[in-house]
Every structure is written in C-alpha cells, then in structure tokens.
C-alpha cells in the first residue's frame, strides 16, 4: 500500500502542495477568504456575471418553478423546457445548428472524444491542451499524437505521417495558462484537408473574444458545423455552471446516443439553466463589459511594461507573469497576499517544469484603481 502521508509531505517540500480557501462572500473582486479581506485576480468570471443580480433573480425564479434538482438524466425525466430553450439559445449565439448541454466542460470533452473515436483511431492535440482534452484521449482509446504549441506546420507533418483512419484534432481556443489563442483557421483548414474532426475547447474564449463575445471561432470567422465541434463552458464568461457542445445535427444526435458522460449522469438543475439564459442575454446585450475588460488588460500591460515585468504574450484576460522557479513563484504569490492581493502561483504539473508563474486574470467587475493597486503591489514585492 502506498504511503500517502509520505507523498503529501514530499509535495509540501517541493512547493507543490495545494490548499483550498474558504470564501464567505460572493464572487467579486473584493472578497473575504479564510476570514480576511483580499483583492482577487484569480477568477475566471471574465464578464463579472457570477454575482449579477439579474442572474441570481433568474436562478431564484427557476427554483420556485422547477425546484432545486432535475431528478434524472436528460434521457429519462430530467430534460426540461428550460434546458431545451438554453440549448437553442446557445446554438443561435455561436451560430451552430444545434447545441447539447453537459454538466461540466471536463465531461463534455470526454464525451465527445469517446463518442467519435476508438482504438486504432488518431487524436492530434496541442502540447499545452487542458487536462480534460488529454484525459479524453485516454478514455477514447485512440492513439494520442501531440504537436508543437500553436504550430499548424508541425501538425500537418504529423497528419501526413499518420496512417489512414478516423482522426480528430483537438485544441484549446484560449490556452488557460498562457492566455494565447489557437490558430483555429489554420487548424480548420488542416482538418478539412485531412478529413479530420476539429474540436475546439473555447472555455476561456466564450463571452470574451470575437463579435458579440461568441468566442475564438467567431473571431476567426468560423461557425461550428460539419466536422467542426465547439465546446464551451458556462462557468467562466457566463458566470454560472456547466458546459455545452455545439455543432451539426448528426453530431449532436450521436452525442445524445453515445456520449457516456451525457447519457449516464443527472441533468443539471433547470433553475441553473434559467440563470444561464439570463447571463447569456446580458452577454449579448452589454458589450461594454468586453470593452471594459480589454481596457483593463491594456492598462495592466502598459503598467507591467513600465515595471519591466516578464509578462507572456496575451491579449486575453489571462495575463501570466512568468517566474520559472516554483519556489520563487510561491514566494511572490505569498508577498502579494500579505499586501492583500490574491494571485495564486501556478506550478507543475499544471505547467511544465521551469515554467511556474502567477496567473493574473481580469474581470469586467474590476476597476482601474484595483489594477493600479495590483501593479503597485507587484512592484513592491519584486523590489523586496
């Protein structure tokens, strides 16, 4: 039997031990965590909708009408008119023929890959893809082939070398730890040329990028249909919880029949679907949220350049400050926390060895004074 205590102690010595914090305030920039106040720059609530009163009111109305639980899987008795309306509205939002709700983005990625691929098939993935995409490869049984980050040329070479058979290319739309955007137009061209599926996980692009916040595919002028599969999450830009897959009619019907992570799990509460419908309306109607978000990111990057901070290349709300050494990143995070600012250190295995960083993320709920406070604290911490 493995000595779990010894493994945990080693993680502490290596600076890799993770601890949960207990919040007793809503998801806002100014929060109370573990009994103390802090200014948070680690949320994925990019549009500032997670604590929006209209979204909360929709959730309450939904609970009054539908109750608190769906009671069954979608294919039994759990699929309500609220779920169905949300699917139709999400499909319309991203310009797809249909959309299908999943409980989480993780489950959506697993479900798509296992439904479309099997043993003997080939799955091509960007080396910096999210863990759920990598785990989807294991679940599917397909052979995993990883190509260089954001490098369509390397992907094309690997596609050319692979034997004939079913193929799927998978990539994050926005890479969650680097904040950069996948070359989705180039990936789509390769997918079409090689008769491969293309799955884009746009968890961090939906609501933020592209016309109307429709994501990284819309930014590239592409709609999910045919062999193009979009996975989007609802718990980041839209501020609620869950995920969806969008694509063609036959794809969605195949997932309903064969995606085990859809078939064999209880449907999310209908009240949550009502809350997400309200959040989606706000996302579509209040474009100022994206404008403000980009202005805050620009202000931060300008100030960071003046301080000589080693920011990575990113125009998204994810702004990684590359430190390299794990312990140094942990020390800088701790120094910021002493100044009342929460920016956790991201360490291996989430990022590669030698690539530890602070992952600073912005929300439309932040203001300019808070961005300046972060810059001042970073400057002081690095001087110290």
Q: Which value, to the nearest 10 degrees, does the dihedral of the CA atoms of residues 43, 367, 315, 278 take? A: 60
Does 366 count as an annotated binding residue?
no
Cis peptide before 349 (omega within 30 of 0): yes
Quickly list H helices, the chain.
4-13, 53-66, 81-94, 105-116, 131-140, 152-161, 184-193, 216-219, 249-258, 260-263, 270-285, 288-307, 326-338, 368-383
Q: Three-state DSSP class for 322? A: strand
Q: How far apart are CA 286 and CA 49, in angstroms?
A: 11
103 is in an annotated binding site: no
The 318-324 sheet, strands edge to edge: 318-324, 356-361, 345-346
Burial of 13 (0-12, 13-18, 19+ CB in 10 A): exposed
46 is in an annotated binding site: no
Residue 196 gets the label, from left (phi > 0), alpha (psi -120 to 50) or beta, of beta
Which active-site residues does the annotation give? 176, 204, 236
Is residue 105 a known part of a binding site? Answer: yes
Cβ-contact 337, 38 below 8 angstroms: yes
350 among annotated binding-site residues: yes
Handedness of CA 294, 298, 301, 307 (dihedral sign): negative
176 is in an annotated binding site: yes
Q: Binding site for pyridoxal 5'-phosphate, residues?
A: 105-106, 176, 204, 233
Q: Binding site, residues?
A: 18, 105-106, 130, 176, 204, 233, 350
Q: Binding site for substrate, residues?
A: 18, 130, 350
């Amino acid at each position: 039997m493995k000595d779990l205590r010894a493994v945990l102690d080693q993680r502490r010595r290596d600076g890799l031990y993770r601890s949960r914090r207990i919040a007793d305030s809503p998801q806002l920039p100014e929060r109370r965590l573990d009994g103390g106040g802090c200014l948070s720059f680690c949320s994925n609530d990019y549009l500032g909708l997670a604590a929006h009163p209209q979204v909360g009111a929709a959730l309450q109305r939904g609970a009054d009408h539908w109750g608190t639980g769906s009671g069954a899987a979608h294919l039994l008795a759990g699929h309500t008119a609220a779920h169905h309306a949300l699917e139709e509205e999400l499909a319309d939002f991203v310009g797809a023929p249909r959309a299908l709700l999943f409980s989480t983005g993780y489950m959506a990625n697993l479900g798509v890959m296992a439904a479309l691929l099997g043993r003997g098939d080939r799955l091509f993935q960007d080396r910096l893809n999210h863990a759920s995409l990598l785990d989807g490869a294991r679940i599917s049984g397909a052979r995993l082939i990883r190509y260089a980050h954001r490098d369509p040329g390397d992907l094309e070479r690997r596609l050319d070398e692979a034997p004939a058979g079913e193929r799927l290319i998978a990539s994050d739309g926005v890479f969650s730890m680097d904040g950069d955007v996948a070359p989705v137009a180039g990936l789509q061209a390769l997918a079409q040329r090689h008769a491969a599926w293309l799955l884009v996980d746009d968890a961090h692009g939906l609501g933020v990028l592209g016309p109307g916040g429709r994501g990284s595919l819309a930014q590239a002028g592409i709609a999910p249909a045919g062999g193009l599969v979009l996975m989007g999450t609802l718990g980041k830009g839209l501020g609620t919880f869950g995920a969806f897959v969008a694509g063609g009619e036959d794809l969605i019907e195949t997932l309903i029949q064969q995606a085990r992570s859809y078939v064999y799990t209880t449907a999310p509460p209908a009240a949550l679907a009502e809350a997400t419908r309200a959040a989606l309306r706000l996302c579509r109607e209040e474009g100022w949220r994206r404008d403000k978000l980009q202005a805050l990111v620009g202000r931060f990057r300008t100030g960071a350049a003046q301080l000589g901070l080693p920011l990575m290349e990113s125009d998204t709300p994810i702004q990684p400050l590359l430190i390299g050494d794990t312990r140094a990143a942990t020390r800088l995070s701790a120094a910021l926390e002493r100044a009342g600012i929460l920016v956790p250190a991201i360490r291996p295995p989430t990022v590669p060895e030698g690539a530890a960083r602070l992952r600073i993320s912005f929300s439309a709920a932040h203001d300019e004074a808070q961005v300046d406070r972060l810059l001042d604290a970073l400057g002081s911490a690095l001087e110290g």
